[in-house]
Amino acid sequence: MTTTIFDASRAGRSNRQHAPQDSQTPLDIPERFLRKTPPLLPQVGELQVVRHFTLLSQMNFSVDTQFYPLGSCTMKYNPRICHVLASLPGFLNRHPLATEGSGQGVLRSLYELQEMLQEISGMQAVSLTPMAGAQGEFAGVAMIRAYHRSRGDEGRTEMLVPDAAHGTNPATAAMCGYTVREIPTNAQGDVDLDALQLAVGPQTAGLMLTNPSTLGVFERAVERMAAIVHEAGGLLYYDGANLNAVTGWVRPGDMGFDAVHFNVHKTFATPHGGGGPGAGPVGVGNRLAPFLPLPVVQKQIRDNGREWFSWMSEKDLPQSIGRLSTFAGNVGILLRAHIYLRMIGAEGLKRVAEFATLNANYLMARLTEAGFAVAFPKRRATHEFIITLKREADEFGISALDFAKRLLDFGFHAPTMYFPSLVPECLLIEPTETETKETLDRFADAMIAIRQEARDYPQRLLKAPLAVPVPGGGIGRLDATRAARKPDLIWKESAVL
Amino acid sequence: MTTTIFDASRAGRSNRQHAPQDSQTPLDIPERFLRKTPPLLPQVGELQVVRHFTLLSQMNFSVDTQFYPLGSCTMKYNPRICHVLASLPGFLNRHPLATEGSGQGVLRSLYELQEMLQEISGMQAVSLTPMAGAQGEFAGVAMIRAYHRSRGDEGRTEMLVPDAAHGTNPATAAMCGYTVREIPTNAQGDVDLDALQLAVGPQTAGLMLTNPSTLGVFERAVERMAAIVHEAGGLLYYDGANLNAVTGWVRPGDMGFDAVHFNVHKTFATPHGGGGPGAGPVGVGNRLAPFLPLPVVQKQIRDNGREWFSWMSEKDLPQSIGRLSTFAGNVGILLRAHIYLRMIGAEGLKRVAEFATLNANYLMARLTEAGFAVAFPKRRATHEFIITLKREADEFGISALDFAKRLLDFGFHAPTMYFPSLVPECLLIEPTETETKETLDRFADAMIAIRQEARDYPQRLLKAPLAVPVPGGGIGRLDATRAARKPDLIWKESAVL
Amino acid sequence: MPFIPHTSAEIDEMLNKIGVLSIETLFEEVPDRLHCPPLDLSPPLGEMAVSRLMRERADADAGGLCFIGAGAYEHHIPAAVWEIASRGEFLTAYTPYQAEASQGTLQVLYEFQTMMAGLTAMDASNASLYDGGSGLGEAVLMAVRANPDHNKVVLIPASVHPHYRQVVETMTQDQGIEIIEIPFDPVEGRVALKSLASFRGKKVAALVIPQPNFFGILEEVDELTDWAKAEGAVVIGLVNPLTLGLLKPPGEWGEEGADIACGDGQPLGSPLSSGGPYFGFLCCKQKLLRQMPGRIVGRTEDPSGRSGMILTLQAREQHIRRSRATSNICTSQGIMTVAAVIHLSLLGPEGLAKVAAMCHAKTVALVNKLTAIPGVSRQFTGPFFHEAALRLPKPTAAILAQLSRLGIQGGYRLGEAYAKLDKAILICATETKTEEDLDFYADTLVWALNVKESF
Amino acid sequence: MPFIPHTSAEIDEMLNKIGVLSIETLFEEVPDRLHCPPLDLSPPLGEMAVSRLMRERADADAGGLCFIGAGAYEHHIPAAVWEIASRGEFLTAYTPYQAEASQGTLQVLYEFQTMMAGLTAMDASNASLYDGGSGLGEAVLMAVRANPDHNKVVLIPASVHPHYRQVVETMTQDQGIEIIEIPFDPVEGRVALKSLASFRGKKVAALVIPQPNFFGILEEVDELTDWAKAEGAVVIGLVNPLTLGLLKPPGEWGEEGADIACGDGQPLGSPLSSGGPYFGFLCCKQKLLRQMPGRIVGRTEDPSGRSGMILTLQAREQHIRRSRATSNICTSQGIMTVAAVIHLSLLGPEGLAKVAAMCHAKTVALVNKLTAIPGVSRQFTGPFFHEAALRLPKPTAAILAQLSRLGIQGGYRLGEAYAKLDKAILICATETKTEEDLDFYADTLVWALNVKESF
Ligand SMILES: Cc1ncc(COP(=O)(O)O)c(C=O)c1O
Ligand SMILES: Cc1ncc(COP(=O)(O)O)c(C=O)c1O
């Protein structure tokens, strides 16, 4: 840790250039409403602020500086132009409640995005308002619930989720008041169809599925699964986190899904920002369309023949599950996705899937050749694949975590670790289409070198990382247990000394 | 060195998003005008480009990340807002030859800058066109030459320059066809008045002076010097590189100077960009005004009472020394200076001088107290001061260079070394007003620690830097002699292997 | 290929290594009949063309003076904020799971937590939620969890932002939580203590207290807090963080302080951007910590005792606890918090207070100018801060549309959410407005009120 | 205090350590009578106020379609260029004197030198000069130094940019160098070999050859180069680097190639910005290396054999050689070269060629559209590239002013610099212009030519 901005604070320092002149009018607020002591905020000069945060930024890995084969997370190149154009003053300065007449540029762009997402997913309607994948899931599952309820079908209390599913799936189902029922995976990495058949029933509200799954394989029997669930009266929800593996090749709507969320910060290359903001638009088939979350952009043709874009409200969508965000979701992020889609178009989108898949399969081939154990060696990798370091763990006493930490020293972000949890000592590797073959080769070489180290100097691995190549990168493996046992969550004056 | 962008190149890679579609029209250019082989440019993807140059940027020290006490160079905080506003599309997209009607915003801003600079320097007229300090000097000296010539006074062939002057001063005088005559400095750091008196004569075109001088002291007898030179028929040129030490306190015009250049990238906080662009406007008194370089902005009042800003041409200034830049100089940089001046105003400008001086004197006091030898201990430091490591060199066998290199390991940019050359083993230290006392203290502590090292482990110093705190900072002291002996100035294919 | 660096030679080598002849083969596990025809999207544009298109659209939306607040506020954001926050190392990093390679983001979040806890006078803060509305939703869920012995009933005044209430409704409806709306006093515009009387002893789980409320009116937060604490209800303070430079923080309301503070962080460095991205913040007292949703950063040590930051208390989160997590939230609003930290660092405590005071002063001045117009008056009598409801003598929709055509976003039409306030608009003038701007609004309003409807 | 972080407690401590009572005392060596009264500058503005002011001014200057070239060209600059180039570590670094702490800038410059040498087919490049005009000035001085046995006479065609010629004049006038203007063929618009005949055997030091020339006309560079080399003159190729994606580079002109190549780097990533900052580049053959002005970066090694970059051959420069330096240049245009390197890396050889070809195609299309208007014709007959001179049937100043009022910057009035070309304008359409833009220009010109003068 570098000193905090609070350590640099000195009473009386200020940046007058950022504070308005003192107001002439004396404050007319009754005493009882006022704060007695100023809040703990740092008092630092502008240069100090710039220097502190610039130096902090350098202490990060990021796509702009490192290869980030983080499975499920899709850390690909975020085109700078999308950021620059979404940051145009005309977009940034518009108030969410400004008149629609003063926002036809942004509304048209959002409307077009809705249309593009419909086409890409094979769905009939889209709402852009969810602010991340998890909120998109919430919207989807809440719509499923609203649908059943609208039919008086109140007995459906269970949501089916494969055991390999991402944690947000069961968590979402629970937030929507459902009991979660896990469906096991078979040895080939597919959902166990028999188990699914057994699990469905009149209590089944639906199934949440990721396809390609979080195991890095395509659920080959997806149509069968859809049939089973639909026959039981349930609906299918598509977790779009892996949509980037199949864009332009196969569409959730065609596979039989009733609702889908998109992860624009995965599939459509908006930057992840160290933890957001993302956006998680939802698309639905006709059955769920009346329940879409608000607001949604609509297009009308005016008397003068001109197109007019406006927000739909409760009046237009009376059965809507309601609002999920204060205004209209993460508009700025949606603009980035719109721009990205505009730039790559239909062919480009298909290429994304192709080259994400090529890169994953190539890397899998290289690692397989080098003797690493792939979780599903008989399967094609999709855009990602899993290796298990079980053997290495047993033989050398090192873990997937040790491997991951040592990769940091080589200047690579670690793959996703220990997810999905059914594969022991696993790493979920997603190279993305924007990385070069050289980078994949260097990564494979690093993996091989680390395994050699595991054999020769296991102690070194247990201590990794030893020297992450960032300024201040001398930091060693941080103690997570200690952090949780005695939480130190905010800086305190006394802590300085 | 990190691999170059050429090493990452692969035949056939391209970023189609940046190339226009192939043109329909076939190229109608006769064969003999065309290139036969494509130029050596890298073929790399956009992510690779972003990653390569982002990582390279991290390998730099900069004001935004480190303390930079680089005497004479004035590396202070460059307010981001100046950069952001000067980069507004309205400013960036305007063609230099666009009609004046489409540029009243920028022309007005430049005009106001001319006026501000006149006021700050006590001069009568300003031209903004020189693109750096050295070109400002050229403009000034060329005007002096034009002035003498205009009076038929052709015999003035000598330009006087103090021995401590910056290298650009004699080099400029030479470019203007003058013989340079050096004037010695006395033991107190002032120009030797007797020597000056002896040096002047009918051959004297003028004197180029920096005040405060490059020795970090104020030329106390500047009025006397002006009188001596003026009496001899010469003119006085003010090298404004150190103007930041006295803004709002004393003006070159009042000291008796006939011409002055401003270093906007020093005094007015425009960023230095790793070596430019800067800007070096020149201000002159009435005698030299007719000779100002073109173009200059003028203000007229139109019939409708509105102000109108336009460029003056040869017709308006027939005696001008001419053009120095293709268009109007580094307009974007001048805008930054204008914005900076607008923000700090008269009081702010005076404060700049005060706090630059306070910081320098404080640091000098701390280093003096710690036993370092200051070049002019009896003098007040201005905004900068010199220490000499002669004693340390003699006692421990280390040099100012060793000290400087070791400072890099401590995360401080080194002060200016070996300039001015009259002080042996010197470091010229300029902390600037934007640095905090804590930073100065940490710097002083580092100096003290390094001297202790010089005593205890001189070998270590001779090898410094040992670990500059930037990524890839493991690089040791680079061999300058080797670089010059066998110049390797461009990447060559063969060099890879 | 845009954003794909492969050369054809490399593609061949790669296919070779995989042992297939074409990329298509890699998709062989996708049933043939599922392959879709080419997507019908508009043809790809180069960077130049898309730039021109988007610039035209942005220009079309630009300009105009904004006097709307209603949950999103136009503030001056120092240039350094986004110049630094959008550095690639912040912008293109993932959630800092690999702590040792993410100390930059982690430390910023730790500083963020400190600032938010400081502003609200709470013990802890998470590292952001999506926005203010969903943040309130999470706060309500958290309060209900934290108060298992009480009924799943939460009181929310009608003086809370109507959109927030809608989001809370959406988020809680399937969990059997009853949200009860508390009316506001139609004269004062704030909750009268007596409106709560009927809930005495009803073991409500929580009470939400907005400050200032949606109308800009200051609620009697001490009184309300004390009432709720006496009832054993969790107190959720819903606040605009910018105003906390001046106003009493939730942690100090009443005798014991609120238990949870939440709100939208937009005023701290997020551009208006048609509604997002902003960020929600959520702070709480120590005892509620383990009920907190969202990511939390903590300080710890490496084996050699160097301190560093790490994501902590993850047992609350979906990736560990799955269906029993405190929330399903995963990605939140990272980069907006980076901007907030830089913004707050540049302003400091004094700057923040000055901005808040100036916003208030500007709004007061605007209220004075506008209420000087015949027929225009304040809707409520309670003391207000930095936002105010005005009653107009003509239909508000038409007036606002007319103002908009003249380059003024004149306010939010309260009739949209409150049938009884059909004649009122909610206005706000932040520190960004000059005296001339205020006059321009007043003059234009005079004109708009006098012009024939048909114009 | 804006940009000054001192607190009053610190000021006291510092004064104390220095041993003075006030900051004023530190200025005691400045004679009292020199102290100036308070400066008369406009009152300081906060960041918000100055932002509003400058935005208004920038907006006032914005908009319009630019068809002017004449030495500065509107090109699409990929967003990544300035997003990366304006990172603080590049933007706020000093000249890389301390090599070990400046490897970022140094390596970029090394890559820059490689690209410029590659583009021009020269052996070496410096790390930038101020701009094209002053770059040509330095090239002329360099050529004269390099040719000490010849007369200090340099031939410059009148088809070189008039401003460049003015700058060369200013820079050389005091060094006894005679600049002789070579006329161009009034029909073809380029230098006819026969115009040089009279300088045969005159031991001129150098010949400048522009390609394309100021009118966009392609000079017979092979012929001219061979003539000059036969005369023992140094050949200076003045080129637009963007066109070198397609056109023959100076290093390959004639039998032996030019000796020096220079020009303005603006088309490689510098925005138009009313004329600057751009950058000048200067490349040369190996044998002229030590006459090169400006900074040069070289690769070397550290004691353990790791290679790194350093400023080299400094014995040419003012800070070492003082009055005997190759030039007085010190600060040059660093950050613009960083942008150029990123720009060229994104375009690659193919992209650069395509941009050049598209600029040409667009200009050809525009010339065709405009010359289809009665009375409008090409001024010259020589082959042109990416820029062209057109003759108009009405006074050019009035026409251009009218176009400007309608949002078109229609071209450069050649009459400003060439009395005989008073009826001609120089136009250019880069890759940024669409078919509709070209039509809009054509339509507007038709209108402007037909409208009454008085309008
Ligand atoms: C498979 C899967 N589903 C859902 C999510 C949740 O998306 P978000 O983080 O945008 O809420 C993720 C994110 O990592 C994911 O990988
Ligand atoms: C004293 C002095 N004079 C002149 C100059 C030259 O200024 P520039 O680098 O802007 O050409 C400098 C720059 O370092 C300087 O320090």
C-alpha D447/C-alpha D41 separation (Å) is 47
pLDDT of residue C452: 65
The half-sphere exposure of A157 on its side-chain side, counting CA atoms within 13 A, is: 3
Question: Residue A279 and residue A268: Cα distance in Å, rounded?
Answer: 10
Using a pLDDT cut of 90, give the percent of chain D over it.
96
Of how many residues is chain D composed?
455
Q: Is the CB of A73 under 6 A from ligand 1?
A: yes
DSSP SS3 for D138: helix
Q: Let me know whether C356 and C443 are in one domain.
A: yes
- Give the model confidence (pLDDT) of A66-98 as tens digits: 999 999 999 999 999 999 999 999 999 999 999
Looking at residues C177-185, what average pLDDT do you find?
Answer: 98
Phi then psi dihedrals of residue B131, to 5 deg = -95, 0
Residues C319 and C365 in one domain: no
Residue C21 lies in a domain: no
Domain boundary at C341, C371, C389, which? C341
- Give residue D454's pLDDT: 47
Check B437 against D6: CB less than 8 A apart. Answer: yes
Are residues C293 and C174 located together in one domain of the fold?
Answer: yes
Decide if pLDDT at C221 tops 50. Answer: yes
Q: Per-residue pLDDT tens for C27-70? A: 999 999 999 999 999 999 999 999 999 999 999 999 899 999 99
Judged by CB atoms closer than 8 Å, whether chains meet at B47 and C3 is answered as yes
Same domain? C206 vs C291 = yes
Residue C453 has what pLDDT?
55
Residues C312 and C337 in one domain: yes
Measured between beta carbons, the chain D residues lying within 8 angstroms of C83 are 88
Return the DSSP state at B323: B
Tell me the two tokens of residue B455.
């005593």
Query: Is C35 domain-assigned?
Result: no
Supply the pLDDT for residue B496. 43
By Cβ distance, the residue of C29, C249, C274 closest to A220 is: C29
| Ligand 2 neighbours (beta carbon < 6 A) | B 72-73, 132-134, 166, 168, 210, 214, 239, 241, 263, 278, 280; D 330-331
Pick from A74, A75, A128, A168 the residue to mutate for probing ligand 1's pocket: most ligand atoms within 8 Å of its CB. A168
DSSP element (H, E) containing B160: strand B158-162
Kindly report the protein residue whose alpha carbon is nearest to atom 9 of ligand 1.
C331
How far does B471 lie from chain A, in Å, by closest CA? 6
Residues C133 and C190 in one domain: yes
pLDDT > 70? residue B494: no
pLDDT computed for residue D455 by the predictor: 44
User: Does a structural domain hold residue D35?
Assistant: no
Q: 3-state DSSP call for residue C179? A: strand
Domain holding C164, by residue range, is: 80-341
Domain spans of chain B, in order of start: 81-342, 352-485
Residue of D76, D90, D355, D358 to mutate, interface with C, max C Cβ within 10 Å? D76
Which atom of ligand 1 is nearest to A135's Cα? 11
Q: Mark whether D353 and D330 lie in a shared domain.
A: no
For ligand 1, atom 10: residue with the closest CA: A133
**What's the pLDDT at D63?**
83
CA distance readout (Å), C80 to A275, C68, C83, C93: 21, 26, 5, 20
> Are D80 and A80 an interchain contact pair (Cβ–Cβ within 8 Å)?
yes
Ligand lying nearest the CA atom of residue D95:
2
Atom of ligand 1 nearest to the CA of A210: 1
Nearest alpha carbon to residue C309 among A459, A274, B60: A274
Say which CATH number the domain at D362 has: 3.90.1150.10
- Please say which residue of C313, C341, C369 terminates a domain: C341
Q: Residue C316 — very low, low, confident or very high, per pLDDT cuts 50/70/90? A: confident
Residue D228 resides in a domain: yes
In a domain? residue D298:
yes
- Report CA(D275)–ligand 1 centroid distance (Å): 49
Q: Does the pLDDT value for residue B22 go beyond 90?
A: no
CA distance D3 to chain A (A): 6
My answer on whether C283 and C362 are in the same domain is no
In the numeric block, which tokens belong to residue A186? 């078979």
Q: Are residues D362 and D264 located together in one domain of the fold?
A: no
Closest CA to B175 of B211, B139, B229: B139
Over 50: is that where the pLDDT of B452 sits? yes
Which chain B residues are closer than 8 Å to C8 by Cβ? 12
DSSP string, B454-467: HHH-HHHHHH--S-
Mutating which of A49, A65, A352, A432 best tests the B interface, going by the most B Cβ atoms within 10 A? A65
β-strand pairing of D151-157 with D297-301: unpaired
Model confidence pLDDT, tens digit, residues B98-128: 999 999 999 999 999 999 999 999 999 999 9
Any atom of ligand 1 within 6 Å of the Cβ of A134: yes
Q: What is the pLDDT of residues C246-275, one digit of tens each?
A: 999 999 999 999 999 999 999 999 999 999
* Digitized pLDDT (tens) for each residue of chain D, 455 residues in all: 899 999 999 999 999 999 999 999 999 999 999 999 999 999 999 999 999 999 999 999 998 999 999 999 999 999 999 999 999 999 999 999 999 999 999 999 999 999 999 999 999 999 999 999 999 999 999 999 999 999 999 999 999 999 999 999 999 999 999 999 999 999 999 999 999 999 999 999 999 999 999 999 999 999 999 999 999 999 999 999 999 999 999 999 999 999 999 999 999 999 999 999 999 999 999 999 999 999 999 999 999 999 999 999 998 888 888 888 899 999 999 999 999 999 999 999 999 999 999 999 999 999 999 999 999 999 999 999 999 999 999 999 999 999 999 999 999 999 999 999 999 999 999 999 999 999 999 999 999 999 865 44
Q: Looking at the complex, report in whole angstroms how far the Cα of residue C182 sits from the nearest Cα belonging to chain D.
A: 40
Q: What is the DSSP string of A10-51?
A: -TT---GGGSPPPPSSPP---GGGB-SS--------HHHHHH
CB pair distance less than 8 Å for A19 and C271: no
Measured distance CA(A447)–CA(A402) in Å, rounded: 12
C250, C258 Cβ separation under 8 angstroms: yes
CA distance C78 to chain D (A): 7
How many domains does chain D fold into?
2
Query: So what's the pLDDT on residue C241?
Result: 98
The correct CATH number of A81-342 out of 3.40.640.10, 3.20.20.140, 3.40.50.740, 3.40.50.300 is 3.40.640.10
Q: Which of D286, D314, D341 is the last residue of a domain?
A: D341
Q: Distance from C271 to chain B by nearest Cα, in Å?
A: 16
| Band (A496; pLDDT cuts 50, 70, 90) | very low
The pLDDT assigned to A494 comes to 65
Q: Which of B75, B135, B263 to mutate to test the pocket of ligand 2 (most atoms within 8 A of CB)?
A: B263
Interface list for chain B against chain C, based on CB atoms closer than 8 Å: 10-13, 15-21, 44-48, 50, 54, 79-81, 83-85
Sign of the Cα torsion C5, C8, C10, C11 reads positive
- Which of ligand 1's atoms lies nearest the C-alpha of A137? 4
Task: Give the model's confidence band at A472: pLDDT under 50 very low, under 70 low, under 90 confident, else very high.
Answer: confident
Give the whole-angstrom CA distance, residue D134 versus residue D164: 7
Find chain B residues with C-beta within 8 A of C343's C-beta: none
- Give the separation between CA C158 and CA C144, rounded to whole angstroms: 20
Closest ligand by atom to B243 CA: 2
Give the span between the Cα atoms of D26 and C392, in whole angstroms. 62
Instruction: Verify that C358 and C320 share a domain, yes or no.
Output: no
pLDDT of residue A474: 80
**Residue range A43-63, pLDDT digits in tens:** 999 999 999 999 999 999 999
* B1 pLDDT higher than 70: no
Mutation site, C12, C20, C48, C130, interface A, largest A CB count within 10 A? C130
CATH of residue C325:
3.40.640.10
- Pick from C48, C78, C87: which is nearest to D432 by CB? C48
If asked whether residues C112 and C216 sit together in one domain, one would say yes
Touching partners of B (3+ C-beta pairs < 8 Å): A, C, D
Domain B352-485 matching CATH 2.60.120.10: the answer reads no
Diameter over CA atoms, chain C: 83
Atom of ligand 1 nearest to the CA of A265: 10
Cβ-defined contact of B168 to D330 (cutoff 8 Å): yes
Looking at all shown ligands, the one closest to residue A208's CA atom is 1
Does residue C359 fall inside a structural domain? Answer: yes
Residue C37 domain-assigned? no
In percent, the amount of chain C with pLDDT more than 70 equals 99
**Chain B: residue nearest D295 by CA?**
B275
For chain D positions 90-109, those within 8 Å of chain B (CB to CB) are 90-96, 98-105, 107-109
Q: Based on the domain organization, do D334 and D378 belong to the same domain?
A: no
Whether residue A270 has its Cβ less than 6 Å from ligand 1: no
CB C279 within 8 A of CB C131: yes
Nearest CA in chain D to B172: D328
Min Cα distance D233 → chain B (Å) is 22
